[in-house]
């Protein structure tokens, strides 16, 4: 694994060299390396947690909010979940070499379209040590080298995790340099990474608007933005009240500091009197700060004095915490317009008993993931059967939604002939 005494160019060049070997590595070798990594995570849990404790101590001293501390924190269960995630990726089919199309052309040429690795994937992420493991496992299985650039907030945790992964992988037969860590944290390092044409094939950022703005200004390497999640739950006029309360509550409260949690609740005016009084009380009891329009507030009963009036900014905000905006709408069309105006294209949900309303919502909402009668919290590579994810893309090219193994590949056309020449 790279040390900080190396330059960004040197680290990326080592990854490029490793990528050539990874691209042709047999599935059995990649799977053996992943099993070795999972076992090493389990065996070295004490070392990992000691490093994480230092990051948490620094984070508290720096005044990190509860959501960031939650994303940063590791315990035995979360480390075990990392190991389970690696084994989940191991169990997936190897995408490399998959034949996407095959046919014989009129001139007799045999044409095959075959899936191949991208090469070197760089991932930039903030305060989430688990991404170090998830990204490495996905890169290895898909035949890519990975350059990891975590935040200074998780520097100790990322360093020990990257070391565990690299040491276990090297011993199991991965090319040296398959997993690289940039640990400096300087902005200049980030810019140089994003400009590493010829060395890095793709950059995936997982962070806030400032990170995205920097990359949009400076990147020369292709970027897939794992974007913010200003997600919505819309309760239709026909919704079952119990289901609506259950889905809306889970989407906000189950883990509020992640990108697939719901930030805004929209309720049809015909359903609001049966749903909002109880649901607003449940949110309040769970510690959620409510920011509502006047019609929702009128249904809050004794809680009305504790509710903040929602502003235009609230509808557009990804809170990543226990704050929620609530609005009463007069139609499905109004709900769709609201979602498309303020949403980030991540995950949107409708609760309804009407098939036509479900179809209209699914077709009308512009988002990577759309749910009917289910929580937005399911937008996750693991939940989708991908084992893990590099992030969730809200773009439409080249990947949308969870970025898993297949999203880390491209393809090439392979032709076999018998001496054909073009006249």
Give the class (CATH, top level) of 231-378: alpha beta
pLDDT of 267 over the 80 cut: yes
Q: pLDDT band at residue 3, thresholds of 50, 70 and 90?
A: very low
What Rg value do the Cα atoms of the chain yield, rounded? 24
Residues of the chain with CATH 3.40.605.10: 8-226+390-416
The Cα–Cα gap between 182 and 7 comes to 9
Calculate mean pLDDT across residues 76-83: 97
- Cβ neighbors of 89 (< 8 A, separation 6 or more) are 34, 137, 138, 141, 387, 388, 405
Q: Could you please state the CATH topology (level 3) that the domain comprising 8-226+390-416 is classified under.
A: Aldehyde Dehydrogenase; Chain A, domain 1 (3.40.605)
- Cβ neighbors of 104 (< 8 A, separation 6 or more) are 110, 111
> In Å, what is the CA distance from 179 to each residue of 81, 115, 131?
20, 22, 13
Q: pLDDT band at residue 67, thresholds of 50, 70 and 90?
A: confident
Residues of the chain with CATH 3.40.309.10: 231-378
Q: pLDDT band at residue 100, thresholds of 50, 70 and 90?
A: very high
Calculate mean pLDDT across residues 164-192: 92
> Using one digit for the tens of pLDDT, what is the confidence trace for 211-250?
888 999 999 999 998 768 999 999 999 999 999 999 999 9
């Amino acid at each position: 694994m790279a040390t900080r005494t190396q330059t960004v160019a040197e680290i990326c060049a080592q990854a490029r060299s490793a990528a050539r070997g990874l691209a042709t590595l047999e599935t059995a070798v990649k799977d053996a390396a992943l099993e070795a990594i999972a076992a090493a995570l389990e065996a070295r849990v004490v070392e990992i947690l000691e490093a994480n404790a230092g990051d948490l101590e620094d984070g508290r001293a720096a005044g990190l909010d509860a959501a960031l501390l939650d994303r940063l924190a590791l315990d035995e269960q979360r480390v075990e979940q990392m190991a389970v995630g690696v084994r989940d990726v191991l169990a997936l089919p190897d995408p490399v070499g998959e034949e996407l199309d095959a046919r014989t052309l009129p001139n007799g040429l045999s044409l095959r379209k075959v899936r191949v690795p991208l090469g070197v994937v760089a991932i930039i992420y903030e305060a989430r040590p688990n991404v170090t493991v998830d990204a490495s496992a996905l890169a290895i299985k898909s035949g890519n080298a990975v350059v990891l650039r975590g935040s200074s907030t998780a520097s100790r945790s990322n360093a020990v995790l990257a070391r565990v992964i690299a040491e276990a992988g090297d011993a199991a037969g991965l090319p040296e340099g398959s997993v690289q860590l940039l640990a400096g944290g300087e902005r200049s390092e980030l810019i140089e990474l994003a400009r590493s044409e010829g060395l890095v094939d793709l950059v995936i950022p997982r962070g806030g608007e400032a990170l995205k703005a920097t990359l949009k200004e400076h990147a020369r390497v292709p970027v897939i933005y794992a974007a913010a999640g200003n997600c919505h739950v819309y309760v239709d006029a026909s919704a079952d009240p119990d289901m609506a309360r259950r889905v809306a509550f889970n989407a906000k409260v189950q883990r509020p500091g992640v990108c697939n949690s719901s930030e805004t609740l929209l309720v049809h005016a015909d359903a609001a009197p049966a749903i909002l009084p109880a649901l607003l009380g449940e949110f309040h009891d769970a510690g959620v700060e409510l920011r509502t329009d006047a019609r929702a507030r009128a249904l809050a009963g004794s809680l009305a004095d504790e509710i903040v009036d929602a502003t235009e900014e609230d509808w557009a905000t990804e809170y990543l915490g226990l704050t929620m905006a609530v609005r009463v709408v007069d139609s499905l069309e109004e709900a769709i317009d609201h979602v498309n105006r303020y949403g980030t294209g991540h995950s949107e949900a409708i609760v309804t008993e009407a098939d036509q309303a479900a179809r209209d919502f699914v077709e009308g909402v512009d988002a990577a993931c759309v749910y009917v009668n289910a929580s937005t919290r399911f937008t996750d590579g693991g939940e989708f059967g991908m084992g893990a994810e590099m992030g969730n893309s809200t773009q439409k090219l080249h990947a949308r939604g969870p970025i898993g193994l297949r999203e880390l590949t491209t393809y090439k056309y392979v032709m076999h002939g018998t001496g054909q020449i073009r006249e």
